[in-house]
Amino acid sequence: MGVVNVTPDSFSDGGSWFDTGKAVEHGLHLADQGADIVDVGGESTRPGAQRVSLEEELRRIEPVVRELARQGVAVSVDTMRAEVADRAVAAGARLVNDVSGGLADPAMARLVASTGVAYVLMHWRGHSHRMEDRAVYADVVQEVHDELRDRMAALVDAGVDPAQIVLDPGLGFSKRPEQAHNWALLAHLDRFADLGRPVLVAGSRKRFLGRLLSDAEDRPRDFTACDDATVALTTLAADRGAWCVRVHDVRPNADAVRVAAAWRSGGADLDAGRGELVGRGGL
C-alpha cells in the first residue's frame, strides 16, 4: 500500500502532493513501482494535528480518487468520515482505511455494511490532539488485541461482514516510542492471528524508527532518513504473515515483500508477494 497524502501538514511529506495533479501523478508512480493499493488521504493524523472540515477533505481527495480509479489503480481512501468514504467509494475507491476503527463517525459501520467495501479497522484511542495522553497500558499487546476484537464485534453487530475487515494495530497512534509500545506489537503480531482477519502494518517513517536510530546526542533521525529501516520492518512483518504494509517509498518495500515470500516458501512459490483485497469486490 503506497501513501498519497493530499495534505499540507502530514508528518513526513506534507505539501509534496497537495496539488491534485501532483497527487495523481504520484499515485500512478507508486502503482508503477509495485503498490497493489494506493491510499489517498486528505487529513493529517500526525500527533497534535487538528481536524479539517468535511468540505475541505472532500475537495482534496475526491478528484484524486476518481482519476486514479479511472486509470485502473486499486485505490483506498484514508478517512474517518462516513460521508467522505461514501463519496470516495462512488468515485472508485475499493477500500476504506479508517484510523478510528469506526469510533469517530457512528455512520461508518452502516456505510461499510451497505457497500461491501473492504475496510481497515485500526486500533484507536482518540483524535491526534489527544492520543498521546491515552497511551497508557499495563499490557499493550493484550489491550490492543482485546480492543480490536471488541471493535470488530461491534462492526459485525452493525451488519459488516467479517470478510470485509482488515485489522491494524495502529503503530504510532496512542503508542509511545519511549515505552516501546510499537516494538512490542511488532514482536507479537502472531497474537492477532486468533482474530481471524488479515493484518495491515503501517510503520513507515514513524517516530519509533527515528528514535531507534537516534545519534550519539540522542537526536532522532529525520523521517525521510528512515526508509532503509522501514524496508527492514517490512521484511520482518511480511515474514511474520502481515497481509499488507503501508509505506511511502514503494519499490524497495515491494521488493522486500517478494523476498520474504520467497524465503518463507523456500522458493516454492516465486510469484508470491502480491495480494488481493478483501471484501465482496475483490481486487
Return all residues near 146 (Cβ < 8 A) that are at least 6 apart.
none
What is the Cα–Cα distance from 234 to 278, expressed in whole angstroms?
A: 20
Q: How far is CA 144 from the centre of its chain?
A: 16
Do strands 38-41 and 200-201 pair parallel, antiparallel, or not at all (unpaired)? unpaired
113: cell is 455494511
Which SS3 state, helix, strand or coil, does residue 75 take?
strand
What are the two backbone dihedrals, phi and then psi, of residue 114, each rounded to the nearest 5 degrees?
Answer: -75, -30
The whole-angstrom distance between residue 223's C-alpha and the CA centroid of its chain comes to 17
Pick the catalytic residue: 94, 197, 205, 246? Answer: 246
Catalytic residue among 87, 175, 197, 206: 206
User: Does 251 participate in catalysis according to the annotation?
Assistant: no
Helix (H, G, I), strand (E, B) or coil at 178: helix
Residues 6+ apart with CB under 8 A from 53: none
Q: 46 an active-site residue?
A: no
- Strands (DSSP E) found in the chain: 2-5, 38-41, 75-78, 95-98, 118-122, 165-168, 200-201, 244-245
Q: What is the dihedral of CA 178, 182, 187, 190, to 10 degrees?
A: 150
Residues known to be catalytic: 206, 246
